[in-house]
A and B are shown apart, each in its own frame.
Chain A
Amino acid sequence: MIRALHRWPGLAALALVGLLALSGAALSVFPAAERLAALRSGDAISVAELATRIKAVHPGVEQIRRGPSGRITAYWFDNGTPGSAVIDPATGAGVAAADPDPVERWLTNLHRSLFLGDTGRLVSAAGAAAMLALSLSGIVLVARRTGGWKRWFSPLRGPVPGRIHVELARVAVAGLVLSSATALWMTASTFGLLPDQSAGPALPAATSETTGAPFAAMPLLVATPVASLRELSFPYPDDKTDVFTLKTDTGTGYIDQGTGETLAWSDLGPWQRASETVYMLHTGQGAALLGLVLGLMALAVPVMGAAGAVVWLTGRRGRPRIRGNVHPSRAETVILVGSEGGSTWGFAATLHGALTRAGQRVHIAPMSAFDPARTPAARRYLALAATYGDGDAPSSAKGFLDRLAALPAAPAAPLAVLGFGDRSFPAFCAYAAAVAAAAGAKRWPRLLPLDTVDRQSPQEFARWGRALGAALGIDLELDHRPVRPATTSLTLVSRRDHGHEVQAPTAILRFALPRMSPWARLFGRRFARFEAGDLIGVVPVGSTVPRFYSLASGSSDGFLEIVVRKHPGGLCSGALMALEPGETVAAFLRRNGAFHAGADRTPLILVGAGTGIGPLAGFIRANSARRPIHLFFGMRHRDSDFLYREELEAWTADGRLAKLSTASSRGERPRYVQDALVSERAQVIGAIRDGARVMVCGGREMAAGVAGTMARLLEPHGLSPAMLKAQGRYVEDVY
């Protein structure tokens, strides 16, 4: 809900808000320039003294004004011609022209009304309202993303556009709230919606009808320092009934030109004071430094807008377009999707289409947006859930279990849960099982028992569809053809073979970066931007299901590198191992933000065995900042499958790798990587207690062994891998 409140005004008002921000930033320079140029030597003297000095130079003076910058301007009518100048208060003489700057005037009119008069003012105000809505909803989203108000400035992870957007937002949002809220106030004031018009005191009924009192004989002018002057208007020559009008920062008064006495005075009301403060905060007139800061913050708006649009476009590509998605309030069937890479969205879209064709009103939404209060007409819920890692929620289901637990009672409409996963993993459909268990514990009525789909099997999905159709009393045929992600042809540049002697043929394959269109580069599509730890999906000939390999390089390295081990009978690994330089393979990129090393200086403990060295080697290669990295690498035999041996030696020499600990499972003293951790336990525990991050990559058994060893090592210190995982300081990439 909050996200929609952020996204749609943002996209709709992108150009308008960007224009207002840029013109506002440009305008912020003027008050500062004026402040620097202003001659403020006269601030301490009285208005009477200033008026005397100016009158001596310009006998026909009609008005003296002091701007918030301290600049003093006088207007006169000498010998029948009007004149004006910026005044040096020390001499009363003019020093510069007082005409308004045409550039500033042009920018001001663009900023507040787009040169469209009152219509333009309302459009600009709408832009300010959009900015305010974006800022407030953005504040909630940032707090949600960083994990709470106290963690407002905590480091961010994830794709670059989103990081740019949030990094700028959390600094600039204060200024943007201030600028947009004051803009709305000023618009309301301009249109007379606020009771802030300065009435001034009532004109005196009678004056002395004499003239000629010297300024020194006017107590109000003598008592008022120039610093608080706004405006002094002189009486018309030849009009004995006219008066001096003095406006200061506290009020307005009239002075008799014959006697010099104060005829009337009224203070500024609270609304006028508020409006003046708002004006100062918005324009920087009288607060030039604040104005410059606000201007700088406004400069972030176009960048944030562009980055936000990229985030939205990227997010859209991850899921298919759902045609005819019914509004939640009218939906009788609600499909909840928990998807990591987007393939579960594809199944959900097929289900949505089939149910809609069967005449149902169907709403589809990510599980993370689960809110039964918004779906009062729902007669059934269908949850399609993938699993991330070892039973965690996939990205579009984050927070679902918390939302369910927070409900006073589960919905009365029954629920069916369908899990998606890969049976070769021990945590097969573990998240779907957790959802089903939580629903059961909450006494949520069950529509169908928990069912699963293995490796995106269309047959299993169709079978579940028939069971669902039977439960609903309709004929439901789910014909799902997985959409293959758009692949790019990668050309092998070189390969290095290892491990034949130890019956584990392994190769480091290096592919050339494919050529890309400027569009793909701009939006980071295809292979334009990637980091070590991201995945490439390779679709073997004769299969629809891709196999994933961790990248051992980033786009800045200028090549794509993966480490592949040949599995007996493995379709994909067999094809890759047979690849010769010059030959190509079809592949696509999948981001894996959870297994990025990050750009900060946090020390790393990297643990890998076999092909798991791939992304870890990529992290070390990218470590030009020389953050402390300790690598634990398990292999079979030093002479056969010591992958990246030369590089690791070179990286140790140039400081990219602080320490290397290896373990060989064959040979005179067989050791596993866990044993190396135990030997180095003092260093490992010390580093973790000092904040180091642990990243484990390799086979499932190895990862379980490492976690067990770590648990034993850390337990005496009141720590555990589970605690570190919760803080994002222990991450695994296992296969």
Chain B
Amino acid sequence: MKKILAALALTTALTFPGIAMARPVTLTATLENYGGDGAYLAIYVTDAKGAYAGTLWMAGGKSRYYEHLSDWYRATGGSRAEINGITGASVGAGRTLEITLDLADALFDAGYTIHVDAAVEDMRDSPNDVSVPLTAAGAGKTVRGRRYVASFGYAM
């Protein structure tokens, strides 16, 4: 189990100045035993119109493979600025990724959606493996991903 505490840079679109308006949120993603190498995961948020709002976490350090996280890559152009300081190692099959970060209150119940794009070497790319609305009521519940993610959830 990986446990990472990340404080998003204040300049990103997802946080507001002042800690009082943000709360710590723990994201948990457990992967299937899909029988391949470690998976790259991009965890990001889109707004009510479906437009890209910002990245929460990038699991996987080699930028040359980011194009396989195809939704995220299309939205960001693979820009390193989007993931500066919020990048970690790829996640092995059957393993769990757990990150805690401060998320702005205004993001909840405002039509924002969390997405997870996944990719594994020599296996099928899986953009939008997970897509779950960001709501206060949804906290603590888990959803099943399409291909590589066995369960994903966020808790406050």
Chain A residues with CB under 8 Å of chain B are 62-63, 75, 77, 82, 84, 99-100, 102, 105, 109, 117-118, 189-192, 196-198, 200, 203, 233, 236, 245
Q: Which of B61, B63, B122, B147 contacts A118 (CB 8 A)?
A: B61
CB distance from B127 to the nearest CB of A (A): 8
Q: Check B74–A105 contact: CB distance below 8 A.
A: no
Q: How far is the CA of A277 from the CA of B64 in the complex (A)?
A: 17
Q: How far is the CA of A84 from the CA of B146 in the complex (A)?
A: 14
Q: Which of B37, B64, B124, B125 contacts A190 (CB 8 A)?
A: B64
B-side interface mostly: loop
- Between-chain CB contacts (< 8 Å), 24 pairs: A62-B124, A63-B125, A75-B124, A77-B146, A82-B147, A99-B35, A99-B123, A100-B35, A100-B122, A100-B123, A102-B35, A109-B37, A117-B89, A118-B61, A190-B62, A190-B64, A192-B62, A192-B63, A197-B64, A197-B67, A197-B78, A233-B70, A236-B128, A245-B70
Q: Check B124–A105 contact: CB distance below 8 A.
A: no
Interface assignment of B85: CB less than 8 Å from any CB of chain A: no
Which residues of A are found within 8 Å of B37, using beta-carbon distances? 105, 109
Which residues of B are found within 8 Å of A118, using beta-carbon distances? 61
Q: Which of A102, A191, A203 contacts B62 (CB 8 A)?
A: A191
Q: How far is the CA of A75 from the CA of B120 in the complex (A)?
A: 14
Apart from A77-B146, A84-B124, A99-B35, what 10 extra A-B contacts exist at CB < 8 Å? A63-B125, A75-B124, A82-B124, A100-B36, A100-B123, A105-B36, A109-B37, A190-B64, A192-B64, A236-B128
**CB-nearest residue of chain B to A102:** B35
Query: B45-79, CB under 8 A of A: which get 1 and which 0?
Result: 00000000000000001111001001000100010
Q: How far is the CA of A198 from the CA of B73 in the complex (A)?
A: 12
Query: B93-123, CB under 8 A of A: which get 1 and which 0?
Result: 0000000000000000000000000000011
CB distance from B8 to the nearest CB of A (A): 24
**CB-nearest residue of chain B to A62:** B124
**Those 7 A-B pairs whose CB atoms lie nearest each other, nearest first:** A75-B124, A100-B122, A82-B147, A197-B64, A192-B63, A203-B74, A63-B124
Q: Check A200–B62 contact: CB distance below 8 A.
A: no
Q: Check A189–B64 contact: CB distance below 8 A.
A: yes
B121-149 CB contacts (< 8 Å) to partner A:
122-125, 128, 146-147
**CB-nearest residue of chain A to B34:** A99
Which residues of A are found within 8 Å of B64, using beta-carbon distances? 189-190, 192, 196-197
The count of chain B contact residues (Cβ–Cβ below 8 Å) is: 19
Which residues of B are found within 8 Å of A192, using beta-carbon distances? 62-64
CB distance from B76 to the nearest CB of A (A): 11
**CB-nearest residue of chain B to A118:** B61
**CB-nearest residue of chain B to A275:** B64
Which residues of A are found within 8 Å of B124, using beta-carbon distances? 62-63, 75, 82, 84
Q: How far is the CA of A84 from the CA of B148 in the complex (A)?
A: 14
Q: How far is the CA of A190 from the CA of B78 in the complex (A)?
A: 16
Which residues of A are found within 8 Å of B122, using beta-carbon distances? 100, 105
Which residues of B are found within 8 Å of A190, using beta-carbon distances? 62, 64
Which residues of A are found within 8 Å of B78, using beta-carbon distances? 197
Q: How far is the CA of A614 from the CA of B56 in the complex (A)?
A: 86
Which residues of A are found within 8 Å of B70, using beta-carbon distances? 233, 245
Query: B20-32, CB under 8 A of A: which get 1 and which 0?
Result: 0000000000000
Q: How far is the CA of A528 from the CA of B129 in the complex (A)?
A: 67
CB distance from B80 to the nearest CB of A (A): 10
Q: Check B146–A198 contact: CB distance below 8 A.
A: no
Q: How far is the CA of A591 from the CA of B36 in the complex (A)?
A: 56
Q: How far is the CA of A63 from the CA of B78 in the complex (A)?
A: 21
Q: How far is the CA of A190 from the CA of B125 in the complex (A)?
A: 19
Which residues of A are found within 8 Å of B74, using beta-carbon distances? 203
**CB-nearest residue of chain B to A241:** B50
**CB-nearest residue of chain A to B123:** A100
Q: Check A200–B67 contact: CB distance below 8 A.
A: yes
CB distance from B88 to the nearest CB of A (A): 12
CB distance from A316 to the nearest CB of B (A): 44
Which residues of B are found within 8 Å of A203, using beta-carbon distances? 74
Which residues of A are found within 8 Å of B63, using beta-carbon distances? 192, 197
Which residues of B are found within 8 Å of A109, using beta-carbon distances? 37
Q: How far is the CA of A99 from the CA of B122 in the complex (A)?
A: 9
B2-47 CB contacts (< 8 Å) to partner A:
35-37
Q: How far is the CA of A75 from the CA of B68 in the complex (A)?
A: 15
CB distance from B73 to the nearest CB of A (A): 9
Which residues of B are found within 8 Å of A196, using beta-carbon distances? 64
Which residues of B are found within 8 Å of A245, using beta-carbon distances? 70
Q: How far is the CA of A363 from the CA of B64 in the complex (A)?
A: 51
Which residues of B are found within 8 Å of A77, using beta-carbon distances? 146
Q: Which of B61, B67, B123, B147 contacts A198 (CB 8 A)?
A: B67
Q: How far is the CA of A236 from the CA of B78 in the complex (A)?
A: 20
Q: How far is the CA of A191 from the CA of B78 in the complex (A)?
A: 15
Q: How far is the CA of A151 from the CA of B121 in the complex (A)?
A: 47
**CB-nearest residue of chain A to B67:** A198
Q: How far is the CA of A82 from the CA of B147 in the complex (A)?
A: 7
CB distance from A26 to the nearest CB of B (A): 17
Which residues of B are found within 8 Å of A117, using beta-carbon distances? 89
Which residues of A are found within 8 Å of B62, using beta-carbon distances? 190-192
Which residues of A are found within 8 Å of B123, using beta-carbon distances? 99-100
Which residues of A are found within 8 Å of B128, using beta-carbon distances? 236
CB distance from A119 to the nearest CB of B (A): 12
Q: How far is the CA of A77 from the CA of B67 in the complex (A)?
A: 21
Which residues of A are found within 8 Å of B147, using beta-carbon distances? 82
Which residues of B are found within 8 Å of A100, using beta-carbon distances? 35-36, 122-123
Which residues of A are found within 8 Å of B35, using beta-carbon distances? 99-100, 102
**CB-nearest residue of chain B to A73:** B124
Q: How far is the CA of A320 from the CA of B62 in the complex (A)?
A: 51
Q: How far is the CA of A203 from the CA of B89 in the complex (A)?
A: 29
Q: How far is the CA of A35 from the CA of B97 in the complex (A)?
A: 38
CB distance from B38 to the nearest CB of A (A): 9
Q: How far is the CA of A300 from the CA of B83 in the complex (A)?
A: 45
Q: Check B36–A82 contact: CB distance below 8 A.
A: no
CB distance from B123 to the nearest CB of A (A): 7
Which residues of B are found within 8 Å of A105, using beta-carbon distances? 36-37, 122
Tell which of B61, B64, B123 has the most Cβ of chain A within 10 Å.
B64
Q: How far is the CA of A118 from the CA of B64 in the complex (A)?
A: 14
Q: Check B146–A82 contact: CB distance below 8 A.
A: yes
Q: How far is the CA of A236 from the CA of B74 in the complex (A)?
A: 14
Q: How far is the CA of A100 from the CA of B35 in the complex (A)?
A: 8
CB distance from A514 to the nearest CB of B (A): 56
Which residues of A are found within 8 Å of B67, using beta-carbon distances? 197-198, 200
Tell which of A77, A100, A236 has the most Cβ of chain B within 10 Å.
A100
**CB-nearest residue of chain A to B66:** A197
Which residues of B are found within 8 Å of A189, using beta-carbon distances? 64
Q: How far is the CA of A604 from the CA of B125 in the complex (A)?
A: 70
**CB-nearest residue of chain B to A74:** B124
CB distance from B78 to the nearest CB of A (A): 8
Which residues of B are found within 8 Å of A62, using beta-carbon distances? 124
**CB-nearest residue of chain A to B120:** A100
CB distance from A254 to the nearest CB of B (A): 10
CB distance from A120 to the nearest CB of B (A): 13
Q: How far is the CA of A196 from the CA of B65 in the complex (A)?
A: 12
CB distance from A563 to the nearest CB of B (A): 69
**CB-nearest residue of chain B to A77:** B146
Q: How far is the CA of A100 from the CA of B124 in the complex (A)?
A: 11
CB distance from B6 to the nearest CB of A (A): 20
Which residues of A are found within 8 Å of B125, using beta-carbon distances? 63, 233
Q: How far is the CA of A70 from the CA of B77 in the complex (A)?
A: 30
**CB-nearest residue of chain A to B80:** A192
CB distance from B34 to the nearest CB of A (A): 9
Q: How far is the CA of A207 from the CA of B63 in the complex (A)?
A: 28
**CB-nearest residue of chain A to B64:** A197
CB distance from A74 to the nearest CB of B (A): 9
Q: How far is the CA of A82 from the CA of B74 in the complex (A)?
A: 23
